[in-house]
A and B are shown apart, each in its own frame.
Chain A
């Protein structure tokens, strides 16, 4: 089960330049990195982007197991998709690399930015009900995940360990989900009552945070732009540049080693 609590702790507490950077800049850098990932199919260029993201993760003092665990999840489905549709091994590797790189970029933003700051930007372009429900969904997900864990434990205590029996596992999951569904309806009612009492009139206002580290903003934007530029250049000039693709991951690997060494000294 996804540890949403750990994700939120990482986003709201702790230090590091990634957490201090402006949420708007982080989203802009994410867009640049996604564009870099979309444009290029060269596995080594994608590996270069991935290495730079790993360096950013170490520089930002984010928990590697958590970030990599989340980023690895789409790899599972990408492998299936690649197996099902890719014509050769190189294309399959590129499909998986694209999935993991794009996911790691998104995960780094989520692990370093409190969720209202991310959703504040979405709120600007969608109707009020969508923006507000988005904010409340994230909050409710915490409550429901915790409740679901205890319901699963309760069900297991009542009916015993299902072992490898699929039917028993399914029945246990259904029983816990049924209880969770009823609980969530009660939660919606309680939220509604609280919102009435607090005078909610159809808009939750979020004030975007300002940057606490201008240097981090500049580094993020420059790095994002550099990744996109590299990706574009290697796509446009692929016929000439492909033999030299092995150079692309080197800066990322060097920066990762530097960030890891600095981090170890700090620890």
Chain B
């Protein structure tokens, strides 16, 4: 449940503005922390992992009409700080491609960032619990738990907008009373199209305040999400387990931070030495 698949204009303004503000604050802080280290190393790493997630999210598993997210894998590869940046980047690109709303981009970033950070933390915890030989089991449980948590977060966000918020948003501002009235209370289809507007206006009785206001049903939304969600969690969990299990067999240094740090440092030293060796004659030629 990486994205809130809720269209633009459904959530109340205060909620998505708050989401944007929070996301910008978190991303800016993460960016400042990340820039303290070797930025040249981090930019391509964040870019390819974000691109990997975009590829996964834009590829459908055909018989199921389900797309994977790879958020837990992204979190494991990047760590918490870079994961927040990757979440923001993925959401911007997906929003520009029509996959996810522009106004809910901030909330989406928060949800996906939490998914990546929590997934990484749970995976690390389960590896400590089960040992490095049980990568697939740890990955599966971590993914399912993470997705269950973020799905609940999404339901919580919709609940925050609440029936009151939703009905206010679906209404129209009455400039006389500064209250919101429901534009559908007088039935746009029946009066506007099929009856030509007869009987509409001063003669028609006004509906009671609040009567007939359309409110989003949080309970029904939660019921649908919690019914369909576990299928997605299981699929994502299986895929994450298979992929991380495969990586742990062929390239374990990508998963274990100590090994990764050591091998990177060694790789960097070797590369820097070779780059210096190459640069010297070139500099000599120029001079």
Chain A interface residues (CB < 8 Å from chain B)? 1-2, 4, 7, 30, 34, 37-39, 41-44, 70-71, 73-74, 76-78, 80-81, 83-88, 90-91, 94-96, 98-99, 102-104, 106-107, 109-110, 118-119, 122, 125-130, 132-134, 136-141, 143-145, 148, 164, 166, 169-171, 173-175, 177-178, 180-182, 184-185, 187-189, 191-193, 195-197, 200-202, 235-236, 238-240, 242-246
Contacts and interface: CB of A to CB of B under 8 A. Distances in A.
A91 to B, nearest CB: 4
Nearest to A69: B98
Given A137-B47, A140-B51, A235-B183, A242 B9 contact: no
Given A85-B158, A140-B51, A174-B239, 6 more contacts: A84-B224, A96-B7, A181-B243, A197-B275, A236-B175, A245-B192
A87 B217 contact: yes
Interface stretch (B99-107, B116-124, B125-133, B142-150): B99-107
B50 interface: yes
Contacts of A122: 92
B92 A195 contact: no
A38 B197 CA distance: 26
Given A81-B7, A141-B55, A242-B186, A184 B49 contact: yes
Nearest to B6: A81
Contacts of A125: 24
Contact size range, B: 35 or more
Nearest to B13: A38
Given A85-B216, A118-B96, A243-B191, A192 B41 contact: yes
A140 B55 CA distance: 10
B256 interface: no
29 contacts: A2-B97, A41-B169, A42-B188, A78-B7, A80-B5, A80-B224, A85-B218, A99-B7, A102-B102, A106-B96, A127-B31, A132-B43, A133-B47, A136-B47, A139-B47, A141-B54, A144-B48, A169-B63, A177-B70, A178-B242, A178-B246, A181-B77, A191-B48, A202-B40, A235-B183, A238-B172, A240-B201, A243-B192, A243-B197
A201 B35 CA distance: 11
A104 B97 CA distance: 9
Contacts of B201: 240
A7 to B, nearest CB: 7
B135 interface: no
B110 interface: no
B56 interface: yes
Contacts of B49: 184, 188
Contacts of B6: 81
Contacts of B275: 196-197
A87 B184 CA distance: 12
A78 B5 contact: yes
A192 B170 CA distance: 50
Given A70-B98, A88-B214, A188 B48 contact: yes
A15 B189 CA distance: 40
B197 A106 contact: no
A38 B8 contact: yes
A75 to B, nearest CB: 9
B35 A103 contact: no
B28 A181 contact: no
Given A127-B32, A129-B34, A174 B242 contact: yes
Contact of B184 (A34, A88, A148): A88
B219 to A, nearest CB: 9
A130 B238 contact: no
Contacts of B214: 86-88, 90-91
A162 to B, nearest CB: 9
Nearest to B241: A174
Contacts of A132: 39, 43
Nearest to A99: B7
A74 B99 contact: yes
Interface string B155-196: 000100000000001111111000001011011110111001
Contacts of A39: 9
A32 to B, nearest CB: 12
B52 A180 contact: yes
B44 A74 contact: no
Nearest to A91: B214
B207 to A, nearest CB: 10
A102 B173 contact: no
B269 interface: no
Given A77-B5, A128-B39, A240-B201, A133 B52 contact: no
